[in-house]
Chain A
Amino acid sequence: MKKVWKQPMLEVL
């Protein structure tokens, strides 16, 4: 069973 893909995001603080 493959895991659910989410778009990788970079948050810069």
Chain B
Amino acid sequence: MIKHQSLSVQHMVSQKEGNIVSDMDGEKVMLSIHNGKYYNLGEMGGEIWELLEVPITVQNLITILTEQYDVEHSECEEQVLSFLTLLVEEGIVDAA
């Protein structure tokens, strides 16, 4: 479990239990029962969230996304790492 450390592509990430998730107009919205906050992950964040249903390395996650989306690997890696870091800090994603 990492906390307050930088996330890397070697880390394994997965959904944390205790979130109520719903789709609203194609965007993924979520209520964390741990901290009482509502989150909007948006369309792309929702896609990433679904890929975290089973534990996956960040590297594999980026590979899947770059195969499906028109994005450079470096750009995808930078943005996904930034996004996942926020999810880990908010306690809605586990990283190890």
> Nearest Cβ distance between residue A1 and chain B, in whole angstroms?
9
A4 to B71, CA, bound (A): 8
A3 to B40, CA, bound (A): 21
Per the CB 8 Å criterion, the residue count for chain B at the interface is: 23
Which residue of chain B has the shortest Cβ distance to A11 in the bound complex? B40
A12 to B86, CA, bound (A): 10
Per the CB 8 Å criterion, the residue count for chain A at the interface is: 12
Main secondary structure of the interface of A (DSSP, over half): loop
Which residue of chain B has the shortest Cβ distance to A10 in the bound complex? B86
A12→B39 contact, CB < 8 A: yes
A7 to B61, CA, bound (A): 15
